[in-house]
Each structure stands twice: as structure tokens, then as C-alpha cells.
Structure 1
Amino acid sequence: MQITFLGTSSGVPTRSRNVSSIAVRLPQRAEVWLFDCGEGTQHQILRSDVKISQITRIFVTHMHGDHVYGLMGLLASCGLAGNPSRIDIYGPPKLEEYLRACGRYSQTHFSYPVKVHTVQPGLVFEDSEFSVHCTPLTHRVPAFGYRISEKDKPGRFNVEQAMQMGIPSGPLYGRLKRMEVVTLPDGRVINGADLCGETQIGRSFVYCTDTIYCDNAVELARNADVLVHEATFAHQDAELAYQRLHSTSTMAAQVALNAGVKKLIMTHFSPRYAPGNAIEFADLLKEAQAIFPNTVMAHDFYTHEISRRAVEAFASAS
């Protein structure tokens, strides 16, 4: 599971930071899930290693322009780039109405199915490998945070041991690999768990923006491997954060600390902290690390991989 930041600025793009979008790449299934799609996102994709043809799901946090203005253009380009079989879009109320209006006034017609799902708190997607949940955040318009949870997988099935035990190959191996208890034709009862290695622990990724500090974000991020959280303002500008319902760097760190996450990646920075100003991005990082040391600051095209090995190592240490 790889996270690539396509835009890390808040409100407006700058020369070095585009507005909000994150691509989560799932190499094992050749899919990309996009979180938010600010203006210029498809240009950012072209400058990255993300393949536009692999986008299958798009999750929108809220309807502010810096999170949705690039969506219609991206959807139109997806059809021209390889005719995807289907794209599912998840987001708040009015998202479908917005896209229909864009299509109507621009005379844009998709050559592939596009399904818009209006999300409610709780489970919004699930298949055999992943589930996605959302929860309301605290912002000026309805906004949601999202959590991807990968399901645990059985450990490696020991084929050699099964053969030595005289277990006939075929469908029985599949059942044993799923750690079922199987009765063999000769009457022996075999527990598949005895033939499998340690369970591969599923990975988790949480995305919270835009929001001020809230308990819902803490609960959504509980024990996550990676939390991506907005940090629009420095601690010194907390009053602005309260007025505009955005987070400071210290609020993001407090969410990470209270949720017990393994890593915090901050994003969605106000351009007011660009190099040369009285407070710079590096100061926001120091503020957050004073509360939650395992914090990094995202920049455009920054990629972080959540590896199974790292997750399992952390679980063993715990």
C-alpha cells in the first residue's frame, strides 16, 4: 500500500504545492484509490508514477473547491486514457448533483460507468481484501474522514508438511489455507491453522481533512498505521484555526497521540508559512514533533509505503 501526495497546499495552489489530493496505490490489484481531487490533480498525476488508467475509486471529503474542482476534468480524461470499466465515487451530499451539473453545462458524457455513492457514517465500501469507513469531521460544510482497513490474511500454507502428512491435494488445501478445520477421508481431523504460518496483519490508512481537532478523528484513527491529517495553521495562529475550523500542527499531533497511531503525516498547509516568512513550514513540523515525535511533513509527490513487514514488526514489539 503506497501513499502518494499529489497536492499538499490549502485553499490555493502555490508554485511548489498543489491543492488537495492523495493517491493510494494497491499494487497487488493494480488499482489506485484517490482521496480528494483539487484543481490540477490530473496534471500532478502526469508528473508522478501514478497511472490514471488504474483509478477505480475516488473518495471526496467535502465540497470545497480545493478538494473537488479537479474531479470533472479527471473523470473526462479517464475515459480518453483507456476507458476504465467503472469508477466509483464516494462523498458528501450534493456531490452527485454537482457532477451532473458539470456534465450538463459542459456537455460532457462519460464512455464508462460512473457511480456516485452518498456516504453516511460507518461502512462505505467492503470487499474480500479491504473495508473503508467514514466519520463526520468538524468543518464549515459537511466533511468526512476516511479509513482504509486491510483485512488480515492467513500465513503461508506449508505445502511440504501437508504432503508429508498424506493430505490429498486439491480443494482440501484451499480450505486448510483458510485455516478451516477439515475431516479427511481417513477420519483424521486437521486444523488448518497448524499448517499455516503467522497471520499477516492488515494495514490501515486514515485521511482527515478539513477539520479542527475533534473526537471523531481520534476514534477513526485509533491504532492506525498511518494518519494523514491536515495542519493548515501553526500553533501561534490557533485563533484563525478556530475561526475557520481548520487544525493547527499541534492539533494534528494531538489526534495522532490520542489515537495511538504509528505515524503522522501532516498536509494541507497554508501558503502563509512558505520559506522567508516569520513562521515557516519547518516550524510547524517542530511543533508537531514536540507532541508526537513520529511526524513527517508531506510535500507534493512525497510517497510513503505501508509495508506488511513494518506493521508486523510494530505488532511484535507491542
Structure 2
Amino acid sequence: MQLQFLGTGAGMPSRERNVTSIALNLSERPVSWLFDCGEGTQHQILRTAIKPGRIEKIFITHLHGDHIFGLPGFLTSRSMSDSKGPLTLYGPPGIRHFVETTLSLSGSWVSFPMEIVEVGAGTVCEDHSHRVIAAPMNHPVECYGYRIEQKDKPGALDADRLTADGVPRGPWFYDLKQGRQVTLADGRIINGWDYVQPAIKGKTLTIFGDTSPTDAGLMLAKEADLMVHEATLEAAMEQKANSRGHSSTVQAARVAQQAGARRLIITHLSSRYQREACPRLLAECRAIFPATEMAHDFSLFNL
């Protein structure tokens, strides 16, 4: 999996940072998931290799404008480009009303199958390869963070052992990889699990919505391989950040530390900070959680 940040600013865009949006490019299939869609997101996408028609899911954390005002434009442009692939939109209660109202009042529509799911705490969606869990954040409006769990992948067949045991290649290899029993031409019955290597553990990614510190965050980020957390203001302005439902650099680092996360990426930085301030903000985090990185617009991170 690969994360690409399309917007890393807070509240309003600046010359260096657009407002929030993150794309998750899956490794299993050539599709992307979008987390939030602030104003100008579709313009940012044009500067990447991401294909709007291959964005199959959008997860909205909350209904503040810097996280959703780019959504109507993205949906209508996706339609105008004649994309036919289905799209599922997840978000807090009210997301359906927002989308339907903006499309209706602007005389717009979507030309592809679209499902809107209003989420609550718990499992949001699950398929054969991933599960997404939502947890409530501490913010002035209803807001969620998302935990994306990649399921374990079956281990590969032990080719050397199969050869040593005189098992010839053939279509029965598929059954063996599923752990099934196979009867060979010479009458031998072999058990697939005897030849399957240990499963490959899936990765876990946590993307927080806007929030001041909350116990739910520790559950959401527990032992995550990668955690994305807002760091709207510096440590000296922590009280102001918390009063508006946001976190400081130090508070984001403490969540990563206490949750046992392996890596932290900070984003959602106030427009008051220009590029020269970034090393200082990053240093505040690394003093507590050394494995911290800072996202900039178009930053790429691999899991």
C-alpha cells in the first residue's frame, strides 16, 4: 500500500499546502481510496498518477468545509469524464444530505453507480482483503478516524520441499495452497498445509480525523504500522489547539508512543506555519516519538 498526500493544511489553503485529502493506493488492485476531499482536491489529483475513475471508495472524517468542499466538484468531474466504475462514499450522518443537496441545487448528477453510507463507530466495510473500522474523535462536529486493516495473505507454497518430496507441478498446486488434501497419480495423499509457508501478516494503517486527545485514538492506532495524525499547532499553542478540537505536535507524538505505533506521519498544519517552521515542528514530535515524518502536499509513503 502507498499513501499520497493531496492536501496537508488546516482550515484554509496556503501557498504551500492545500486543505485535507489523502489517497491510499492499494497493492492488491490498481485502485485508490480517498480520505477526505477538501476544496481543490481534484486539481491536486491532476498533478499525480491517480485516476479518478479508479477511486472506488471515499471516506469522509467530518463535515467541516476543509474536508468536504471538494467533494461535489470531484463527483461531477468524475461523471463528465465518463467514468463508469462504481464508487462508495462513507461519512458521518449528514453526508448524504450534503451531497444530494449540492448536486441538486447545481443541476449536477453522477453517471456512475454511487452508494452513500453514513457511518458510526465500528466496522465500516470489509472484503476479502481489508477491513475498515471507524472510531469517534473529539471535535466540535461529529468526526471519525479510520483504521484500515490489511488481512493476512496466505503463505507461498514451499517449492523446494515439494520438489524434494517428488510432488510434480500441476493444477493441484492451487488446492495445496488452499490447504486441501490432494491425491497424486501414484496414489499418495498429501496435505496442503504441510507445504504452505507461514502467512504474510497484513499491514495496519490509522488515519485520524481532526481531534483533540481522546482515548478512542489509542484503540484506533494500537500497534499500527503507520499512523497519520493531525498536528495543527505547535506545543506552545496546545491549549488553543485543544479548545478548537485539535491537537498539538507533542500530543500527536504521545498518541503514537502510547498506542505502540511503528511510524507517525503528521499533517493538517495551520497555515500560520511556512516551510521554514517545519523542522521545528517535526523536532517537537521526534523528541517524544523519533519515528515521525511530516507530510507535504504530494508526499508519498510506502507501507
TM-score range, shorter chain: over 0.9
Partner of 1:184: 183
- Cα contact 1:53–1:78 (8 A) shared by 2: yes
In structure 2, do the counterparts of structure 1 residues 8 and 168 end up closer, same or farther at CA, with 3 Å as the change threshold?
closer
Q: Distance in 2 between matches of 1:293 and 1:228?
A: 15
**Does the residue aligned with 2:133 lie in a helix, a strand or coil?**
strand
Which moves more between the two structures, 24-33 or 69-78?
24-33
Equivalent position amino acid for 1:304 in 2: F
Report which of the two has the higher share of helix: 1
| Matches of 1:98 and 1:177, distance apart in 2 | 47
SS in 2 for 1:272: coil
1:233-272 maps to which residues of 2 (within 5 A)? 233-272=233-272
TM-score normalised to structure 2 length: 0.94
| AA of the residue aligned to 1:263 | R
Three-state SS of the structure 1 residue aligned to 2:99 is helix
> 2:117 maps to which residue?
117
Aligned 1:83-122 pairs, distance under 5 A: 83-122=83-122
Query: 1:24 touches 1:34 (CA, 8 Å); kept in 2?
Result: yes
Q: Contact conserved, 2:56 with 2:87, CA < 8 A, in 1?
A: yes
Give 1:95-244 correspondences, 5 Å limit: 95-159=95-159, 161-162=161-162, 164-166=165-167, 169-170=170-171, 172-180=172-180, 182=181, 184=183, 186=187, 188-190=189-191, 192-244=192-244
Q: Which string of whole-angstrom CA distances, capped at 9 and with x for unpartnered residues, describes residues 262-317 of structure 1?
A: 100000001122256xxx222211111010000011100000011xxxxxxxxxxx
The CA distance in 2 between the partners of 1:168 and 1:93, in whole Å, is: 54
| Corresponding letter in the other structure for 1:234 | E
Match in the other structure for 1:274 = 274
Q: Could you tell me the TM-score, scaled by structure 1's length? A: 0.90
For structure 1, the residue ranges without an aligned partner over 5 or more in a row are 307-318
Contact 1:167 1:184 in 2 (8 A): no
With over 3 angstroms needed to count, the CA separation of the structure-2 counterparts of 1:157 and 1:301, relative to structure 1, is same
Query: Quick check: 2:3–2:300 contact (8 Å CA) kept in 1?
Result: yes
Task: Quote the RMSD (CA, aligned, Å).
Answer: 1.7
Structure 1 stretch 210-219 or stretch 46-55: which is displaced more? 46-55
Alignment match of 2:291 (pick from 282, 290, 294) = 294
1:131 maps to amino acid: R
Shift of 1:67: 0.1
Deviation at 1:252, TM superposition (A): 0.5
Q: Secondary structure at the match of 1:301?
A: coil
Residue 249 of structure 2 contacts residue 281 of structure 2 at CA under 8 Å; is this kept in 1? yes
Identity %: 40
Helix, strand or coil: the match of 1:300? Answer: coil
